[in-house]
Amino acid sequence: MPPLSELPSDLSREKLIRALVRLGFVVDRTGGKGSHCKLVWPKSGKAVTVLCHLHKHACKYVIEQAMVISGLEWEIIDREL
């Protein structure tokens, strides 16, 4: 799991979503309420919700959930960010 100090300082919601999509997540247009975004890992059907206002603690939580769902390592996600 990534420590807060390893997260990029310029990480935005859009950058995080684009990185997860490049890694294999699919944006579910029917899921997510309001400005929340639901990303589904197609192999398992499990999803992670990206909040509309991301700060470092929420971003860390989303990345940790994505790692658990997909089995991806932090180093692979970090390269895409």
Q: What is the pLDDT of residue 63?
A: 92
Give the span between the Cα atoms of 79 and 22, in whole angstroms.
11
Q: What is the CATH number of the domain that holds 42?
A: 3.30.920.30
For the chain, the straight-line distance linking the first and the last C-alpha, in angstroms and rounded, comes to: 15
pTM of structure: 0.86
Domain that holds residue 61: 9-80
| In a domain? residue 28 | yes
Which residues have CB under 8 Å from 49's CB, separation 6+?
31, 32, 36, 37, 38, 39, 62
Does residue 4 lie within any of the structural domains? no
Overall number of domains in the chain: 1
The pair of structure tokens assigned to 23 is 């890694």
The answer to whether residue 67 scores a pLDDT higher than 80 is yes
> Quick one: pLDDT at residue 31?
67
Q: What are the beta bridge partners of residue 47?
A: 40
Residue 75, in any domain of the structure: yes
* pLDDT tens-digit readout, 50-62: 887 778 888 889 9
Instruction: Return the biggest CA–CA distance within the chain.
Output: 34
- Whether 72 maps to a domain, the answer reads yes
Q: Is residue 3 part of a domain?
A: no
- The string of pLDDT tens digits covering residues 4-43 is 888 888 888 889 999 999 999 999 877 666 778 899 999 9
Would residue 18 count as lying in a domain? Answer: yes
